[in-house]
């Protein structure tokens, strides 16, 4: 028996199988498209940020911990930016301790600890070397990231706290 009729029969069977598979797939896809129309999902609604409730009490916006300016000029303790509903304050914790020195000021700097002060804002003289104290902040404080205790008389950093 010749191999030629067997090969032809095999090719015909394969072609019929391909045509049948394409027909069935096309039929199935048409039925899916008719049964389940394409729907576009709308993006989830974005909720606005929560508002500060003045009756809820003070809200801490950012905080940090004082670190030493160097081996002689030292600082420790916590500091926070607090919105009390009426004003925004820089609040030193009860645990704050700064090496005593002459002409000490509290600055807010846009730069990080150890960097140049940049275009800083002066909040006034340091009220006390230790303990809790508060300073009223100007309206635009978003760009300031570091509290600096600075000695104007000798141009020395006594302590810094990065606000995060």
5-17: pLDDT as tens digits:
554 444 444 444 4
pLDDT at 10: 47
- Give Cα separations from 39 to 42, 43, 67 (angstroms): 9, 13, 57
41 pLDDT higher than 90 = no
Q: Pick from 83, 78, 85, 84: which is nearest to 63 by CA?
A: 78
Under a CB-based contact definition with an 8 Å cutoff, are residues 96 and 65 in contact?
no
76 pLDDT higher than 90 = yes
Q: What is the mean pLDDT of residues 53-77?
A: 90
pLDDT at 2: 55
| pTM reported for the whole predicted model | 0.66
pLDDT at 53: 55
């Amino acid at each position: 028996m010749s191999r030629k009729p067997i090969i032809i029969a095999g090719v015909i069977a394969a072609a019929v199988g391909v045509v049948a598979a394409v027909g069935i797939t096309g039929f199935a896809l048409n039925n899916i498209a008719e049964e389940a129309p394409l729907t576009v999902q709308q993006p989830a609604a974005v909720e606005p940020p929560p508002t500060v409730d003045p009756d809820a009490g003070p809200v801490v916006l950012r905080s940090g911990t004082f670190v030493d300016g160097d081996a002689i000029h030292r600082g420790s303790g916590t500091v926070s930016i607090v919105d009390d509903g009426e004003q925004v304050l820089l609040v030193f914790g009860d645990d704050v301790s700064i090496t005593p020195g002459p002409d000490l000021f509290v600055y807010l700097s846009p730069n990080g600890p150890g960097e140049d002060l940049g275009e800083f804002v002066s909040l006034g003289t340091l009220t006390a070397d230790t303990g809790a104290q508060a300073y009223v902040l100007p309206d635009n404080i978003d760009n300031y990231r570091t509290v600096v205790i600075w000695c104007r008389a000798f141009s020395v950093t006594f302590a810094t706290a990065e606000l995060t």
